[in-house]
Structures are given as C-alpha cells and as structure tokens.
Structure 1
Amino acid sequence: MKIAIIGYSGSGKSTLARLLGDFYNYPVLYLDKIQFKANWIERDEETAKIKVKEFMDNNDNWIIDGNYTKLLREQRLEEADIIIFMCFSRLICLCQAYNRYKKYKGKTRESMAAGCNEKFDYEFIKWILLNGRSKNKKKQYTETIQKYNNKIVILKNKKEVALFLEELKYE
C-alpha cells in the first residue's frame, strides 16, 4: 500500500506518517528531509526530485509526508492508494506548531534534515496563518479532493485522527 499525507503546516502530517509507518512497518519519506539540507539550506530541485523518485521506485509500499508541489506531487498522488489530507484549522495548527517548538527547541526532529533545528519565527507563523492558506493553496487542495475523491481521507482534528487510527486496528 502507498500512502501520501498532505495538509497544512502544523497539522500533524509527520506524526501521522511515523505512526502509520510503525503500524504497517512501511518506510516513511519526510519531504522536509528532501527539501532541506543542514541549516535550512534548500536542496537543488533536480537532486530532490531524484531522491523522491528513487524512494518511490525502490519501495513497493511507502508513506510520503509533505506537500512540495515540485517534488513529484502529481506522481505521488497518482500512485498513492490512500491520500490523507490533514485539514486542521489555523488555530490548531498554530498551537501544535508552537507545542512542537517547545518540545524540540534547539533540536532536530526525526522528520527534518540534520542540522535543521526546530524554529517558530515570524515567517513560519505567517505561513501557518496566511501564506500556507492562500487562494492558490486552497484551490490546489480542492482540486486534489475532487480529482482523487475515491481515495482521499480528510481529517480535521485530533479526534478524527484517533478514530482513523483506531479503525486501522480492525481492518
């Protein structure tokens, strides 16, 4: 099975990816690790695409966490058996991102490239509240829901995530 997890920053995509990876024993690719090298330096696009393609080609089952349109987004969504859209409110995402910052301040999460210490700055707050929810981004998610409505799961809060995970135990 192939699972793509998309959604708003701070919604819990990486946490869900890790939990599903543990549950199914599938490899997980965190696109933040591909997008960035140490110290938040962006990787060149062609190298990043090659890394994503190799992961997809070399694994029969996979979980990919992240949005990055330029990192083979359409191919990822097309190949995925399930697309999970983490559609949490701005406030929930902001609170979760802040709590994550408190937990990992000065450290690098497993879902980030080495040397990319957790940060919670003005630019990131602005991304969570405004730029990451632009008309273009919302349109992209709406089009994704319409195009892949037969395989998309929309989760809007922690309770829905918990119910989703609970249902997996009985499949």
Structure 2
Amino acid sequence: MKIAIIGYSGSGKSTLANFLGQHYNCEVLHLDKIHFTSNWQERTDNEMADDMSKFMLQHDWIIEGNYSTCLYEKRMREADCIIYFNFNRVNCLYRAFRRYLRYKGQTRPSMAENCNKKFDFEFVKWILLDGRSKKYVEQYNAVVKNYSDKTIVLKNQKQLNNYMKKVKKLL
C-alpha cells in the first residue's frame, strides 16, 4: 500500500503517518526530516527529490508532508490512498502549540536532527494565514477533485478517530 498524507501544519499528519506505519508495518518518510538538515538548514528540492525517488521505489510506503515543489504530483498519482487533513486553523494552532510544549528544547521524531521544536511568530503566521493562502487551498482542492476515488478528507478529531478505528478493524 502507498499512502500520501497531506494537509495543514499542526493537524496531525506525522502522528497518523506513524500510526499507519506501525499498523501496516510500512516505512514512513516524514518530508520535514529530509527537507531540513541540522539546525533548520534547508536542503534543495533536487536533494529532497533524490531521497524521495529512492524511497518511492519501495513496494509499500507512507509519505507525510506537503512540499508541493518536490514530486508532489508523482506522489499523488502513485499513492493508493491520499489522506488530506483539512482541520480548521484554530485547531491546528492549538495542536501545534501543544506539540511545542511536549517537545520544547528537543527534536521531535519526525524532524531532522538538531531541529529543536520552535513556536515563533513566523510559524503561527504560517498556520493561521500563509499556509492557507489561495494557492494552497486550490492545490488541496485540486487533489480532492482529481483523485476523489482515493482521497480521504479529515476535517476534525472525531473524523480522525473514526478513521483510525476503521483501520484497526481492517486487519
């Protein structure tokens, strides 16, 4: 099974990816982990694409993250299932802040080494405004429209919980 998980920052993509990876005994690629190197240094799209292309050669994979400039359409096309987190911005902000408190001064497992969790104005602005620009909304809407037969849209915690319960019952 190949699963692409996309959606807004702070919505729970990494957590679901880890859950599905354990459930299906499948390797997970967190795109934040290959986008950054130590101390939040960004890698190029070509460097990321090389890593992602190798990862996508596997029979089964779970890729979590957006990065629309890096093999985005290929991921959507090759995925057997696309899970789109469309949680509201206030919920995402709350979840991101809660995650920050949990990992404050540490690197969370889905990040590159020495990228200690931060919660600054730039990130808050991304969650509330920039990450929900018309460009990103249209991009997500296009995925839902073009891949409606294999896209699951999760809008809140209740829907996420129900989805996870359904997955647990499948095996």
Number of the residue aligned with 2:137: 138
- SS of alignment partner, residue 85 of structure 1: strand
Q: Provide structure 1 residue ranges, at least 5 long, that are not aligned to the other structure.
A: none
Relative to the length of structure 1, the TM-score reads 0.98
Question: How well do the aligned residues superpose, as a CA RMSD in angstroms?
Answer: 0.6
Given the two structures, how large is their TM-score scaled by the length of structure 2?
Answer: 0.98
The aligned residue for residue 53 of structure 1 is 53
Name the SS of the counterpart of 2:148 in structure 1. coil
Structure 1 SS opposite 2:149: coil
Aligned to 2:102: 103
**Following TM superposition, by how much is the alpha carbon of 1:56 offset from its aligned partner in structure 2, in angstroms?**
0.4
Query: Which amino acid letter does the alignment assign opposite residue 66 of structure 1?
Result: G
Distance 2:47 2:10 in 1: 26
Matched residues in 1 for 2:154 and 2:117: separation? 25
How far did 1:76 drift?
Answer: 0.5
In 2, the alpha carbon distance for the partners of 1:144 and 1:90 equals 20
Shift of 1:166: 0.6
**Whole-Å separation in 2 of the counterparts to 1:169 and 1:66:** 23
Which residue pairs with 2:88 in the alignment? 89
Corresponding residue number in structure 1 for 2:116: 117
Matched residues, number = 170
Shift of 1:169: 2.4
1:70 is displaced (CA, Å) by 1.6
Q: CA deviation at 1:25?
A: 0.5
Deviations 1:46-82 (A, max 9, x none): 111100000001x110100000012201100100000
- Mapped to 2, the partners of 1:77 and 1:114 lie a distance apart of 27
Corresponding position: 1:26 with 2:26: yes
* 1:15 aligned partner: 15
